[in-house]
Structure 1
């Protein structure tokens, strides 16, 4: 399967993305299986571990220009890095939503509600 040409895909990161897909965390697997695979999130398709600029997004929906990140414990010490990353992704036109591992594992319904609310707001803005 080839990735369509776009202004944010970085083919040089493809091997790393493949490795990350094969080495997903429990929270990433849960989010994928329960909410994001097979267009389960209100009919929108997400991809796992996709390159965006110089980064790899945990989950990416091109149609929504939305990136969903699952942050493990190490992100507690990377707030400045994450903010810079989110800023650079925003410059490419993406919105990043971040969820802690713990929330995905312990309150997946809140993650669902948050994603659905964001999508509903995006749809409303699109129709205006």
Structure 2
């Protein structure tokens, strides 16, 4: 997807999030970086509109969100955010930090199935 909205005021926060090196995101990133997952190019920590998504696949218009304990109190925020991203024509694949940490093989297989189901022609 080209020309997605971009809020430049989020750049400092984006840099902080990348520096933080959140373990779960790093574990997932090691599985997908440098086109190691089916030769797909993933971006980590991408600004879309007024949000920073965990991972983004530009060629597919796919957002990957890893939900941790902090999302338990943000259901309304997450719903508004998801509706906004979907209004841009993006698809969202949600996974839990627990599954990334404890079932990474299953997560990757589920991601593969999601891509096949949603993007095969």
State whether TM-score is above 0.5. Answer: yes
Q: Are 1:16 and 2:13 matched, yes or no?
A: yes
- 1:46 corresponding residue in structure 2: 42
For residue 37 of structure 1, report the CA deviation from its aligned partner: 0.5
For residue 83 of structure 1, report the CA deviation from its aligned partner: 1.1
Q: Are 1:73 and 2:69 matched, yes or no?
A: yes
Which ranges of structure 1 fall in alignment gaps of 5 or more residues? none
How many pairs are equivalent? Answer: 120
Aligned-pair RMSD on alpha carbons?
Answer: 1.4
For residue 19 of structure 1, report the CA deviation from its aligned partner: 1.2
Which ranges of structure 2 fall in alignment gaps of 5 or more residues? none
Q: Distance in 2 between matches of 1:10 and 1:44?
A: 25
Q: Distance in 2 between matches of 1:18 and 1:61?
A: 19
Residue pair 1:37, 1:45 contacting (<8 A) in 2 also: yes
Residue pair 1:8, 1:92 contacting (<8 A) in 2 also: no
- 2:116 corresponding residue in structure 1: 120
Residue pair 1:60, 1:66 contacting (<8 A) in 2 also: yes
Task: Give TM-score scaled by structure 2 length.
Answer: 0.91
Runs of 4+ in 1 over 3 A off after TM superposition: none
